[in-house]
Structure 1
Amino acid sequence: MKQIIYTDNAPAALGPYSQAIAVFDKLIFISGQIGVMPQTGKPAQGIEAQANQVLTNLKAILKEAGSSMDKVVKTTVFIKDMNDFSKVNEIYGQYFTNTYPARSCIEVARLPKDLLIEIEAIAIK
């Protein structure tokens, strides 16, 4: 009924939560991912590099869960500066090419580790 998803190819959770949870063998809820490189634990530098890393981390979790980027149905993007919206869109569009998921984008005051972007997602298997 509920399966915890974990991969070493994405950063470990920073607190008491899972990278992702699959339910009813159909839906995958992915916790907010930040632009940290799983190999080093260090953040990528700049909004473009962080956006790429966030989406790479999401992709790795989806793969571990038996899904893929084209099966994402909803994302929520949290960015520190709405002036970066077009840069994030450009990179985001490189990862979602077939059909775009529904999406919200919210400017926030602060993100974990003072990073510039975080993305959470819901996907199907």
Structure 2
Amino acid sequence: MLKEVISTKNAPGAIGPYSQAIKKGNTIFVSGQLPVNPQTGEIPEDIKEQTKQSLNNVKEILAAAEASLEDVVKTTVFLKDLANFTDVNEVYGEFFTENYPARCCVEVSRLPKDAGVEIEVIAILD
């Protein structure tokens, strides 16, 4: 079973030697998504808007793999400042509304492009 590279112009391109996502069998591994608007290259200032953009990027990559947020079984949220946890959680709850995926949320000292949040996911297709 070969791995398939997943790529879409509806999410920011990789800024290094990695793929937006890899599909192997029925499992999709989405690389960490920064809150970069794919059309403008801009990052919103507000952490809620950053979270929304990161999750929209994840959503677009999943769509390119013929999957959706409902297929997500695990997420990892990287925060530059854990004091933003409540705001990030509020937006996260707008994207994942039931049958929540497992999640890990950690504070990191710095993220690429000085973003406030980065989100990666693993999805499994039925």
| TM-score bucket (shorter structure) | over 0.9
Alpha carbon RMSD of aligned pairs, Å?
Answer: 0.6
What is aligned with 1:66? 66
Q: Any idea what SS the aligned residue of 1:40 has?
A: coil
Residue 98 (structure 1) shift: 2.5
- Counterpart of 1:41 in structure 2 is 41
Provide structure 2 residue ranges, at least 5 long, that are not aligned to the other structure.
Answer: none
Structure 1 segment 7-22 matched on structure 2, within 5 A: 7-22=8-23
Residue 4 (structure 2) aligns with = 3
- Quick check: 1:114 aligned with 2:114? yes
The Cα shift of 1:97 comes to 1.1
Equivalent pairs counted in the alignment come to 124
Unaligned regions of 5+ residues in structure 1, if any? none
| Separation of aligned partners in 2, 1:49 and 1:58 | 14
TM value normalised by structure 2: 0.96
Q: Where in structure 2 are the equivalents of 1:75-90 lying within 5 Å? A: 75-90=75-90
Give 1:85 shift: 0.4
Aligned residues with identical type, % of pairs: 56
Q: What is the TM-score with the length of structure 1 in the denominator? A: 0.97
Q: Does 1:96 align with 2:90?
A: no
